[in-house]
């Protein structure tokens, strides 16, 4: 361990750094999110970007038309409407209001 004194914005800090020898350890892979199984033959609607689900406007068994707003996703302080890609029936809703989602997360399945 080596000790250093660093001044940031006029405040002095004392830090310690450990010297590493050899190859750096590989970063641990993040676990994949658990995916709910999609009903066979259904069209999966996935999140286009990371964000938070503000509202879920459908439920299992709901009839939907192309262009209907399925959910509202907040990303970077903007509300993004997740639109229905085709006519059908909601086979499963895989997220709830307030859920944090990543890009590609399964939101719902349309039969």
| Number of folded domains that form the chain | 1
Residue 96 is part of a domain; what is its CATH number?
2.40.50.100
Query: How confident is residue 21, by pLDDT bands cut at 50, 70 and 90?
Result: confident
CA distance 83 to 66: 8
Interval 83-103 mean pLDDT: 94
Q: What is the mean pLDDT of the chain?
A: 84
pLDDT value at 19 more than 80: no
94: Cβ–Cβ under 8 A, 6 or more apart, which residues?
A: 36, 105, 106, 107, 108, 109
Domain boundaries, position 52: 43-110
Interval 74-85 mean pLDDT: 93
Q: What is the pLDDT of residues 36-46, one digit of tens each?
A: 455 567 899 99
Q: What is the pLDDT of residues 50-69, one digit of tens each?
A: 999 999 999 999 999 999 99
Answer whether residue 1 is part of any domain. no
Q: Which of 35, 55, 38, 43 has the alpha carbon at shortest distance from 89?
A: 43
Answer whether residue 20 is part of any domain. no
Give pTM, 2 decimals: 0.63
């Amino acid at each position: 361990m080596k000790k250093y004194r660093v001044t940031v914005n006029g405040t002095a800090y004392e830090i310690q750094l450990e010297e590493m020898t050899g190859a750096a350890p590989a970063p641990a892979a993040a676990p994949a999110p658990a995916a709910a199984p999609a009903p066979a033959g259904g069209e999966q609607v996935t999140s286009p970007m990371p964000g938070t689900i503000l509202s879920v406007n459908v439920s299992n068994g709901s009839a939907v038309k192309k262009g209907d707003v399925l959910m509202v996703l907040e990303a970077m302080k903007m509300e993004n409407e997740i639109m229905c890609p085709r006519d059908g029936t909601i086979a499963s809703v895989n997220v709830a209001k307030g859920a944090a989602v990543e890009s590609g997360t399964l939101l719902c399945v349309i039969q």
